[in-house]
Amino acid sequence: MRHSERPQAALGKAIRALRDERELTQETLAEKTGLSGRTLSGIETGAANPTWATVRDIAAALGVSISEVAKLAESYEERGRRSRK
């Protein structure tokens, strides 16, 4: 199985999609998690690789479980693999 060079990019897409579904701005979600807007932006763009604790905090602020975030990220990763074939 081939993995992307930046697997955290799919995680960032998942977090952004969940944030957008809830109509939250990055600033609002950052405030709810105690992260800076810059850090959250880096996570969403795949430039930053968050710890599990950070993912847990983001998931809680979004009202979902870590596993829901992971499943959505996995679906984005799979789509990316299919499009590269």
Lookup: tokens for 34: 């105690």
Alpha-carbon span 43 to 58, nearest angstrom: 10
Q: What is the pTM of this model?
A: 0.86
Q: Which distant-in-sequence residues (6+ apart) come within 8 Å of 59 by Cβ?
A: 65, 66, 68, 69
End-to-end Cα spacing for the chain: 12
What one-letter code names the amino acid at 47? A
- Tens-level pLDDT at each residue, the chain (85 residues): 344 455 589 999 999 999 999 999 999 999 999 999 999 999 999 999 999 999 999 999 999 999 999 999 999 988 877 777 6
Closest alpha carbon to 32 in 15, 11, 49: 15
